Amino acid sequence: MSFIGQLLHFALQIYFYIIIAGVIISWLIHFEVLNAKNPQAQNLINLLNRATEPVYKPLRKYIPAIGGIDITPIVVIFAIVMLQELVIRLFIVNPYRFL
């Protein structure tokens, strides 16, 4: 069970970093540090969008943008941290596993 918990924790951590990378890329595009017309930048943007949009899209129905700022990544990061804590408690540090 510990291996499954560690694997789930690792997958959630990778998704956490994908979300952070997407937010940073969007800021770089907004402040014109990164040119979105560059083919390599477009490939990176498309990859990050394909990874994050399936999670963001249903949440955007219920979470409005506040002052033009999309707070969906913050909500997803919060959910990931809670899921990681749950995985740690259930799979990795289970006080009842020897009973």
Q: Residue 55 in 3-state DSSP?
A: helix
Torsion of CA 86, 87, 88, 91, to 10 degrees: 120
What does each of the 99 residues of the chain score in pLDDT, given as a tens digit? Answer: 588 888 999 999 999 999 999 999 999 999 999 999 999 999 999 999 999 999 999 999 999 999 989 999 999 999 999 999 999 888 877 656 554
Give the pLDDT confidence score for residue 81 in this predicted structure.
97
Give the pLDDT confidence score for residue 68 in this predicted structure.
86
pTM metric for this prediction: 0.87
What's the rounded Cα separation, in Å, for the pair 37 and 22?
16
Give the pLDDT confidence score for residue 98 in this predicted structure.
52
Q: Residue 29 in 3-state DSSP?
A: helix
C-alpha angle 62-9-7 in degrees, rounded to nearest 5: 125
- Tokens 């083919």 found at: 39
